[in-house]
Structures are given as structure tokens and as C-alpha cells.
Amino acid sequence: DIQMTQSPSSVSASVGDRVTINCRASQEISTWLAWYQQKPGKAPKLLIYTASSLQSGVPSRFSGSGTGTDFTLTISSLQPEDFATYYCQQANSFPFTFGPGTKVDIK
Amino acid sequence: QVQLVESGGGLVKPGGSLRLSCAASGFTFSDYYMAWIRQAPGKGLEWISYITSTGSTIYYADSVKGRFTISRDNAKNSLYLQMNSLRAEDTAVYYCARERNNWNDVGDWGQGTLVTVSS
């Protein structure tokens, strides 16, 4: 199975800050990588697919990059509604594993 | 719009069984791969099973293989998860999920149904 790791596990930030979350796969997955946002008590929401494609309806302050084993989610200017937990997920081979999550909270 | 509504969750004793259902609407169900993904309380996400649009291909995570069975009824726009030999570690919110264009990520999620395995 492909193992996914994320760093940091949590980040404290202020509105307007630039936030970067990293995700690493244990083996090469090309660009088969998705990012999700989850708020407490809610289902996750797809933000980015194939590493850098923005899902319809997602604000352009979210962007993704990377290929191979190393990937990044960037929020260019953090908004109040962005405080949440973010997960990466590899879509290369089953089981489609998720990273452990990165919690973004208010500084 | 796309709607996925899970039902069937609840409290069950270890070793017991439960059947989850997911009613889909707002899209052509028979065109899409579907999945069950779970989240234990306070934990991360685990993709436990998926089924292709016709049901011809099915995968299970090792954690549920041999105990859980995924199925679908395209005529009824419904997805199912039969869960047998339940264990305490199966306690989780179970999400019904629609793959985005069948590319192994999830474009749409249900609201989730809680399964609690406890004596």
C-alpha cells in the first residue's frame, strides 16, 4: 500500500496569511493526488485533483503543485472560512490512501 | 444537484451485522464509480471499498476484506455496504462517495452515517 504523510500536522495562522501544507507519498504517484478540506461534523470537500487542478467552485486562493512523491497545497491569503483540517489522498492505486491531515487553526 | 443520503447506521454488538444504504439522486447513477469511506471518531479518513459503474470490479481495504460486501442496484440508484463480523475498530462515520469522473478521487460525499460497535 502507498503511505501518505503530511506536514505540519497543525499550523496556527492569521487571516491573510499564506499557508503551505506538504504531502509525501511513499512511492511515485505521478500527479494522482487530491486535496480535501473538512470542517468539524461535515463531510470532506474536494479542493484540488490531479495535483494542481482546481475543483469547480473552489476559490482561486487555493492551489496545488507537485509530481512524483512530493506535493503542496497553498492557501495564498487565509480567510476565516478556511480554518479546517486538510487531507491529501493518492488516487494512483487501491487502496486510495489519505494523509493523516493538517489542522489549520486561528493564531 | 447531486445528493447522496446514507441510512442504516446505529449501535451494534461486536460480531453483529449491519447494512448501510445510500440513495443517490441528481445524476446518472449507473455512469459512476462509487465508494464507501469511513472516519473513526477524531481520526482520519479510510477508503474501505469501491465499485465500478457496472459492478464488474470491486476492491476492499485489507481492514474489511472478507467481512464487508459492497453492492449497487443501478435500477434503484442505490449503493449498499453489508457489514458482518463487526468489531469495535469498525466504529466510525461511514460516507457514501461518488468518484469524480471515475478518476479515484471523490467529487461528492453523503452526510455520513454513524456506526457504533459496542457491547
pLDDT in tens, A48-91: 999 999 999 999 999 999 999 999 999 999 999 999 999 999 99
B46/A45 touch (CB, cutoff 8 Å), yes or no? no
Q: Which of A3, A54, A94, A103 to mutate to test the interface with B (most CBs of B within 10 A)?
A: A94
| Residue B110 vs residues A18, B36, B84: alpha-carbon distances, Å | 31, 10, 22
What's residue B101's pLDDT?
A: 83
Strands (E), A1-107: 4-7, 10-13, 19-25, 33-38, 45-49, 53-54, 62-67, 70-75, 84-90, 102-106
Strand partners, B53: none
Smallest CA–CA distance from A49 into chain B, residue: B105
On whether any CB of chain B is under 8 Å from the CB of A81, the answer is no
Q: What residues contact residue B14 under an 8 Å CB cut-off, 6+ apart? A: B86, B87, B88, B117, B118, B119
- Rounded to an integer, what distance in angstroms lies between the CA atom of residue B76 and that of residue A98? 30
Task: Name the region of A16 (left: φ>0; alpha: ψ -120 to 50; beta: rest).
Answer: left
Q: Which residue shows C-alpha cell 494512483? A: A92
Helix locations, chain A, DSSP H: none
B-facing residues of A in 17-56 (CB < 8 A) are 32, 34, 36, 43-46, 49-50, 55
A99/B104 touch (CB, cutoff 8 Å), yes or no? no
- Rounded to an integer, what distance in angstroms lies between the CA atom of residue A27 and that of residue A75? 26
CB-nearest partner of A43 from B62, B104, B111? B111
CB-nearest partner of A87 from B44, B100, B107? B44
pLDDT digits (tens, 9 = 90+) for B11-70: 999 999 999 999 999 999 999 999 999 999 999 999 999 999 999 999 999 999 999 999
- Rounded to an integer, what distance in angstroms lies between the CA atom of residue B111 and that of residue B7? 10
Are B43 and A100 spatial neighbours (Cβ–Cβ below 8 Å)? no
Contacts of A87 in chain B (CB under 8 A): 44-45
Q: What is the mean pLDDT of chain B?
A: 97
